[in-house]
Structure 1
């Protein structure tokens, strides 16, 4: 819909396949150190037990590391789950917890987008802002519901 302030805006699937293939190889190595905008999140599927390794944008907020996504695999972190995270050339085991509560997600993504500015936020979040500006908290809340946007907070495993 043209009147929405936020839409999904991922690159074409063919581009994602190539970029993700390269990132899967590079991020866990020292060559991944300068690629701070991305991280590799490894996790086990709740139902399948299959191991997945997914390149995602790395978001820092208040010293914490987040994944922002609308992808269905977010449910693997619903009750918390261990994840292998390769970020800035280092790999560690972290605990990921899904944040799906509308107001909390809207606050996280609005603060991230504001810190990046509209142009970078669109690239980092895989979203489009047709108005060319950072959406308001209310617009983020609507998009959280409509697009299923959530966040996964990653913390050091104790």
Structure 2
């Protein structure tokens, strides 16, 4: 399935579920429009290019900010295309921003990203199956189970 988003070109949505593809299309349209303020406080679009095929993916996802960094997580297969050598474009608060991804490969680094990402994102907590303890930290067993199910945590830094 391909479509066009403003400022972009043809994109691809590799979501398996038809209702998810429909929702993603709506979110991409809203976030690329002047109405972006309705959703841009919680959602961004990550535009990433396939490392082997060159296919461009445009993926809406929840995020949090930590200073200039944008934090996110996903269990989608598209995350295999994230690499610090391959900048991406974020549609963030109505602006296209070139960013450099850093994928958390170490469990403690991923846990810290999750601790900063999850408190403001209850839907993401539910999707991951991770609750926060009284101290505000992710439950370690649930967090590890989410990682075992394929959840990947990453941060984006502004491109120099």
Which TM-score band applies after superposition, normalised by the shorter structure?
A: 0.7 to 0.9
The reply to whether residue 49 of structure 1 matches residue 54 of structure 2 is yes
Q: Which residue of 2 aligns with 1:153?
A: 155
TM-score (norm. length: structure 1): 0.74
Q: Kindly state the Cα deviation for residue 61 of structure 1 after the two structures are TM-superposed.
A: 3.2
Equivalent of 2:17, from 3, 13, 17?
13
C-alpha distance in 2 between matches for 1:104 and 1:145: 12
Change (3 A) 1:95 1:79: closer
SS of residue matched to 1:86: strand
SS of residue matched to 1:81: coil
C-alpha distance in 2 between matches for 1:31 and 1:86: 13
SS of residue matched to 1:17: helix
The reply to whether residue 73 of structure 1 matches residue 71 of structure 2 is no
Aligned pair count? 139
Q: Kindly state the Cα deviation for residue 65 of structure 1 after the two structures are TM-superposed.
A: 0.6
The reply to whether residue 82 of structure 1 matches residue 80 of structure 2 is no
Higher helix share goes to which structure?
1
Q: Kindly state the Cα deviation for residue 141 of structure 1 after the two structures are TM-superposed.
A: 4.8
RMSD between aligned residues: 2.3
Change (3 A) 1:79 1:157: closer
Larger relative contact order, structure 1 or 2 (CA cutoff 8 Å, min sep 6):
1
Contact 1:66 1:153 in 2 (8 A): yes
TM-score (norm. length: structure 2): 0.73
Runs ≥4 residues deviating over 4 A: none
Q: Which residue of 1 aligns with 2:129?
A: 128
